[in-house]
Amino acid sequence: MANHQELPAAVVMVPLPAQGHLNQLLHFSRLIAAHNIPVHYVAAAAHIRQAKTRVHGWDPSSTAAVHFHELPTPTFTNPPPDPNAATKFPTQLIPSLLSSMDLRQPVYELVQKLAATTRRLAVVYDSSLPYVVQDVRNIPNAEAYCFHSIAAFSVYSFSWEYRGKPALPNEAKIFEQVPTADGCFPPEFAEVMKFQHEAPKFNSGDIYNTSRAIEGAYIDLLAKEKTTGTGTIWAVGPFNPVVLPERKLPEAEADEREECLKWLDKQGKNSVIFVSFGSTCSLSDEQISEIAVGLERSGQKFIWVVREADRGNVFEGDVRRAPLPQGYEETIRGRGLILRDWAPQLEILGHVSTGGFLTHCGWNSCIESISMGVAVVAWPMHSDQPRNAVLMTKALGIGVEVFEWGRQDRLGVVSSDTVESVVTRLMASEEGDEMRKRAAQLGDAVKKSVMGGGISSKELDSFISHITRS
């Protein structure tokens, strides 16, 4: 066996097997690997394939320092999403999330093996997987770092609610406007949370995919109150690229991914709204019909991703093709573009023609939208999304809400009139123009934060120095 002094440091990434989590830690792997530190990305084979297939903004095969470890895929049922469910939480993913707990032993065995070849091993694990990495504490030269896949704003607000909403300092009064967690998680999710709460906590610090340029006040609150058990926090985001490489794909090889970007090339600045509800939201036929009519009536140009939510294994099972109104694509030809497959969201948001984003407010989408300077129409569905919507619209002032989360009528179908109204409000009003200005200014600040000498760049350097210390 090689001497453990052979490498000064290495990193193991342990993501939760859901797209928004896989994606963020894959981007973070690239950032660490750029410092010539070997990174070992660990997941079941299907989830590694999913992460690599869908990554955008860079090519994972170009980063030799990222090593993928395909662990045995645990057995689980792979049910389809239910577009007519009373709540929009992706309960179809719960069997996959529960089966990921079976990775505890293979992850530990891999960490043991890697620890023998490096002086210091840093294990970065998703905050929903402390059960899987709990044995790391038995390895003398290994440390564990908890990655939070959601906003610092949302972490603090969940904690504040859990603690019974004690008196808030003046700089945190915004949390009084945050809705409760009612309707955010179904009872079935409790079993997943049980693993999280019962596992022994072992982390040397917390990592966030955010920037102090966005959430400085909330990061300070988390650190001051040691909300997650440690006051050691690194806010090193955005993890995703903020400057995209020039497109060089030959025309003969153009696919749907490239075709939508070529379509955007022909549109005016800030003239297109991008519509996408992420990888976990399944909408009913009736709701899709209302969105279709609302977008058409708005008179705005749009790109709309109409695709089914993910299963636990995205490569198995039939995929529902949601119907659009008869003749719809012909009616909107030239003004609207329908995408049925995985879309290059980062590139679309980064395009000069994109002036707005109708989004479910998953944190991946929020941080990508912020880093590209794009204002939003916020339509949260579940989990942390209602809190992210408050951050985007009320705290940052770069978006409008489709509805207030606490209102009961949100549980029904959102009408085409409402869709038309909010899209027009963002895309064709002075208020929307002001939001776009604020979004562009925030995007510029965030881009500067990740450049050399910027605040996020310094935090990444701090983390690298910490895990490579003697």
The pLDDT score that the predictor gives to residue 256 is 58
pLDDT, mean over the chain: 92
The pLDDT score that the predictor gives to residue 126 is 96
- Cβ pair 118, 37 in contact under 8 A: no
Report residue 428 as tokens: 């064709």
pLDDT band at 4 (very low <50, low <70, confident <90, very high): very low
| Residues whose CB falls within 8 Å of the CB of residue 403, separated by 6 or more in sequence, listed in order | 379, 409, 410, 414, 418
Q: Give me the DSSP letters along 22-39.
A: HHHHHHHHHHHHTTT--E
- Cβ pair 126, 21 in contact under 8 A: yes
- Strand, helix or coil for residue 407: coil
pLDDT band at 410 (very low <50, low <70, confident <90, very high): low
pLDDT, tens digit (0-9, with 9 covering 90-100), for 198-222? 887 778 999 999 999 999 999 999 9
Q: Which residue has the tokens 């704003």?
A: 153
Distance CA 328, CA 291 (A): 12
Q: Which of 152, 376, 419, 195 is nearest to 278 (CA)?
A: 376
Q: Residue 408 pLDDT more than 80?
A: no
pLDDT, tens digit (0-9, with 9 covering 90-100), for 16-56? 999 999 999 999 999 999 999 999 999 999 999 999 999 98
- Strand, helix or coil for residue 276: strand
Dihedral sign of CA atoms 406, 412, 413, 417 in order: negative
Distance CA 140, CA 111 (A): 11
pLDDT, tens digit (0-9, with 9 covering 90-100), for 60-77? 888 888 999 999 877 899
Distance CA 17, CA 425 (A): 37
pLDDT band at 229 (very low <50, low <70, confident <90, very high): confident
pLDDT band at 253 (very low <50, low <70, confident <90, very high): very low
The pLDDT score that the predictor gives to residue 409 is 60
Q: Residue 1 pLDDT more than 70?
A: no
Burial of 6-21, coded b for 16+ CB within 10 Å and e otherwise, reads: ebebbbbbbbbbbbbb
Q: Which of 277, 131, 129, 145 is nearest to 208 (CA)?
A: 145
Q: Residue 250 pLDDT more than 60?
A: no
- Strand, helix or coil for residue 144: strand
pLDDT, tens digit (0-9, with 9 covering 90-100), for 131-173? 999 999 999 999 999 999 999 999 999 999 989 999 998 889 9
| Residues whose CB falls within 8 Å of the CB of residue 236, separated by 6 or more in sequence, listed in order | 28, 31, 207, 208, 209, 456, 459, 460, 463
- Strand, helix or coil for residue 428: coil
| Residues whose CB falls within 8 Å of the CB of residue 33, separated by 6 or more in sequence, listed in order | 39, 63, 64, 65, 66
Classify residue 228 by its DSSP letter.
Answer: T
- Cβ pair 174, 394 in contact under 8 A: yes
- Cβ pair 357, 365 in contact under 8 A: yes
Sheet arrangement for strand 39-44: 66-71, 39-44, 7-14, 118-126, 142-148, 206-208, 233-235
Phi, psi of 126, deg, nearest 5: -65, 145
pTM: 0.94
Q: Residue 254 pLDDT more than 70?
A: no
Q: Which of 155, 158, 159, 107 is nearest to 130 (CA)?
A: 107
- Strand, helix or coil for residue 321: coil
pLDDT band at 2 (very low <50, low <70, confident <90, very high): very low
Q: Residue 278 pLDDT more than 60?
A: yes
For 192, other C-beta atoms within 10 Å of its C-beta total 18
Q: Which of 240, 210, 457, 435 is nearest to 348 (CA)?
A: 240
- Strand, helix or coil for residue 44: strand
Q: Which amino acid is at 330?
A: E
Q: In this structure, which long-range contacts are made by residues 444-450, counting pairs with CB atoms below 8 Å and at least 24 apart in sequence?
A: 444/373, 445/213, 446/211, 446/213, 446/214, 446/238, 446/242, 446/370, 446/371, 447/242, 447/243, 447/371, 448/213, 449/211, 449/212, 449/213, 450/211, 450/237, 450/238, 450/242
Q: Residue 457 pLDDT more than 60?
A: yes
- Strand, helix or coil for residue 184: coil
The pLDDT score that the predictor gives to residue 248 is 61
Residues annotated as catalytic (active site), given as ranges: 21, 126
pLDDT, tens digit (0-9, with 9 covering 90-100), for 259-269? 899 999 999 99
Q: Which amino acid is at 272?
A: V
pLDDT, tens digit (0-9, with 9 covering 90-100), for 72-105? 877 899 999 999 998 899 999 999 999 999 999 9
The pLDDT score that the predictor gives to residue 118 is 95
* ∠ CA 281-284-285, rounded to 5°: 135
pLDDT, tens digit (0-9, with 9 covering 90-100), for 294-330? 999 999 999 999 999 999 999 999 999 999 999 999 9
The pLDDT score that the predictor gives to residue 252 is 41
Phi, psi of 416, deg, nearest 5: -60, -30
- Cβ pair 312, 95 in contact under 8 A: yes
The pLDDT score that the predictor gives to residue 266 is 95
